[in-house]
Amino acid sequence: MTDRDFCFWLQGFFEVANPKEMCEDQIKMVREHLNLVFEHAFAPKPAAEPPPVKEVPAKGIAEALEEMRKQQEDPEKLKPWQRLRPVRIC
């Protein structure tokens, strides 16, 4: 059962069963479970590793830039994510 499923189940329980009274142990258990749900839901997610950086030798930078410029001249050869798009700065 996911965190969200538990919350929906608990809401349904209160709506359908409509308990008039709950003992201290039941209240404590519900609170503990909800605390677990919220701790898990709002816990910081581990950062994804950044993609590896492709190293270009210093003398190859000019050649790499020239190759990119030539590729942009014929955008049909490029995949959609490789195409440069004009950017409007306001």
- Domain assignment present for residue 86? The answer is no
Q: How far is CA 54 from the centre of its chain?
A: 25
pLDDT of residue 22: 85
pLDDT of residue 23: 87
Would you give per-residue pLDDT tens digits along the chain (90 residues)? 788 888 888 888 888 888 888 888 988 998 998 888 888 777 777 777 777 777 766 667 777 777 777 777 776 776 666 666 655 665
Domain that holds residue 11: 3-41
- Domain assignment present for residue 18? The answer is yes
pTM > 0.75: yes or no: no
- Domain assignment present for residue 62? The answer is no
Nearest by Cα to 56 from 42, 66, 46: 66
- Domain assignment present for residue 71? The answer is no
